[in-house]
Amino acid sequence: MRRAVVGPPVPGPSGWDAMRDRHRWTIPDRFNLARACVTDWAEATPDAPAVIDLRGARRVWTFADLERASARLAGWLAGRGVGRGDRVALLMPQRAEVIVAHAAIHRLGAVSLPLFALFGPDALAYRLRDAGAVAVIGEAEGLSKLDGLDLPDLRVAVDVDGGLPEGDPRPVADTAAEDPAMMIYTSGTTGDPKGVLHAHRFLWGHLPCIETAYDGFPRPGDVGWTPADWAWIGGLMDLALPCLFHGVPVVAHRMAKFDAGAAWALMARERVTCAFVPPAALRAMRRVDVPDGLALRAVISGGEALGADLLHWARGSLGVPLNEIYGQTEANLVLAACDGTQDRAPGTLGRAVPGVEVEVMGPDGPVADGAVGEIAVRGSPAAFLRYWGKPEETAGKWRGGWLMTGDLGERLGGPPGSPAIRFHARDDDVINSSGYRIGPSEIEACLCAHPAVHAAAVVGLPDERRGEAVTAFVVAEAVGADELIEWVRARLSPHMAPRAVHFRDSLPTTATGKVMRRALRG
């Protein structure tokens, strides 16, 4: 039913170029996420499993179940004045009703607004007010946080714990691929969070990366799962919606606190073949025994650089590729580093996925091989439409037709638009020490490779002599600062070795699990 965007992977070090050469975008002018991910499959294979919901008693939702529930929810919302272009928030963790709600909203031509269920009242108030959300669909616990908040546009609330409301079934709206469909807020680590508005076609921009990084996805018998919450672009667009677009069932399971052993047990029990697992979760899973009976054939990860130790563990202990992906909320999944189709080196982000151009840019254009510049993207349907209510910030994100990511990378060589790239740092995370521009990611990966280190973050702190001193904050056991400094000195370079190491019980993180380096700078 679905034509693959890039087709099966092409083995060998030139396989990536072969896939890029044969890629052709075929995005229809009229396109709707609800039709593509639910309705089309409900018409073709109504009894096929779509969402395996493990909340409470295990329940398998078929595509027909999703279609029926979303059509009736859409009718109920329409009866209360929700229509095309309105923003409707989703405030619940992984569960089948998340997919039902997205589909219902998109059936109306409205815009879905996923929000993290663990957000506090202040975070919710800012996003709901900024978006002008007219409705919210969520669990009772989340909805209770809205009591007393000043939300002048909000007029409808749906408590899914009491069951989904039903109205007259609504057909899928006729929408253009360019029409707004979803708004996802940035994590807000620099300035106020920004609403990143995406069109229906942004799903297509994810498919080349998904199909290649999951090693020829989809294949018969595939089942997907991620511990990442579906409120974030990683959980939703790196796994859930691409699975449904291809008719692949996805497991929904809420983990209040990540448990590595429980994660392995779930993957074995549900015969998960394709998983998106963030690096922090992978490190935790590496520390417990891998069970027998896994059906895994590919794992992808992203959000921070993977170290050689994780890649070696995946190949040896799991016997499956651990492929890295790179993107951001504004343009997701534009680079990938995949076993079997690339000359892959640990610590690199890989190359531009088929159909997309990615370059490392300086003030006057692409930089030379070996130089550091800002990673820039062109040609991806996953690129955002605009920041909500922020035209100046939107304009500042683009330069000469390129979307500027704000991330720094080193160009390692390769054809124009598709060089190999090593992640260097966020532009505001670069450490300037004794004339060196030092990115923290490589140092953090080195520290995390030490057997006693559970987590690490590296920042530059003011230093009278050096300008900034490389400073590490680590969560570790039974290891001294001198040993870790020497560990980095010996494996990377003396100028990259931390001048000080501070031990912590935990590191400050955003709701997405990213370390907040700014908080460590004080």
Taking only the tens place, the pLDDT of each residue in 339-363 is 888 878 777 899 999 999 999 999 9
Query: Which of 460, 521, 522, 453 lies closest to 488, judged by CA?
Result: 453
Tokens representing 488 are 């980095």
pLDDT value at 87 more than 50: yes
CA distance 98 to 127: 18
- pLDDT greater than 70 at residue 2: no
User: Which comes out higher in pLDDT, residue 111 or 122?
Assistant: 111
Model confidence band, residue 191 (pLDDT cutoffs 50, 70, 90): low
Higher pLDDT, 516 or 218: 218
Mean pLDDT of 112-124: 89
C-alpha–C-alpha distance, residues 71 and 68, integer Å? 5
Q: List the CATH code of the domain at 430-521.
A: 3.30.300.30
Residue 329 has a pLDDT of: 92
Tracing tokens 């160009």 back to the chain, one arrives at: 411
Q: Give residue 309's pLDDT.
A: 83
Q: Which residue has the higher pLDDT, 313 or 383?
A: 383
**243: closest CA among 270, 275, 267?**
275
pLDDT tens digits along 44-85: 999 999 999 999 899 999 999 999 999 999 999 999 999 999
Mean pLDDT over each residue of the chain, to the nearest integer: 92
Residue 47: C-alpha distances to residues 38, 67, 149, 466 (Å) = 12, 11, 42, 65
| CATH match for 32-175 among 3.40.605.10, 3.40.50.300, 3.50.50.60, 3.40.50.12780 | 3.40.50.12780
> What is the structure's pLDDT at 357?
97
Residue intervals of the chain classified under CATH 3.30.300.30 are 430-521
Domain with CATH 3.40.50.12780 in the chain: 32-175
- Whether the link from the prior residue into 415 is cis, omega within 30° of 0, is no
Assess whether pLDDT exceeds 50 at residue 249.
Answer: yes
More confident residue, 495 or 300: 300
- Please, what's the b/e burial string for 20-31 (b: 16 or more CB within 10 A of its CB; e: otherwise)? beebebeeeeeb
Neighbours of 438 (CB within 10 A): 22
- The mean per-residue pLDDT over the stretch 439-463 comes to 91
Q: How far is CA 63 from CA 36, 42, 99, in A?
A: 11, 5, 11
User: Looking at residue 428, what is its pLDDT?
Assistant: 72
Q: Do residues 86 and 135 make contact, with C-beta atoms less than 8 angstroms apart?
A: yes
* C-alpha gyration radius of the chain: 23
> Which pLDDT score, from 0 to 100, does residue 512 have?
62
| pTM of the predicted model as reported, rounded to 2 decimal places | 0.86
pLDDT confidence band for 189 (50 / 70 / 90): very low
Give the percent of the chain with pLDDT over 70: 97
Q: How confident is the model at residue 8 (pLDDT cuts 50, 70, 90)?
A: confident
281: confidence class by pLDDT, cuts 50, 70, 90:
confident
Residue 148: the pLDDT is 93
- Write the pLDDT tens digit of every residue in 365-422: 999 999 999 999 999 999 999 999 999 999 999 999 999 999 999 999 999 999 999 9
- pLDDT digits 0-9 by tens, 12-53: 767 888 888 888 888 999 999 999 999 999 999 999 999 999
Greater confidence, 15 or 326? 326
521 has pLDDT over 90: no
Report pLDDT for 435: 66
Mean pLDDT of 489-498: 87
- How many whole angstroms separate alpha carbon 111 and alpha carbon 102? 9
What ranges make up the beta strands (E) of 338-401? 348-352, 357-362, 365-366, 372-378, 386-387, 398-399
Which tokens in the block code for residue 508? 């400050």
Which amino acid would we find at residue 100? V
More confident residue, 513 or 462: 462
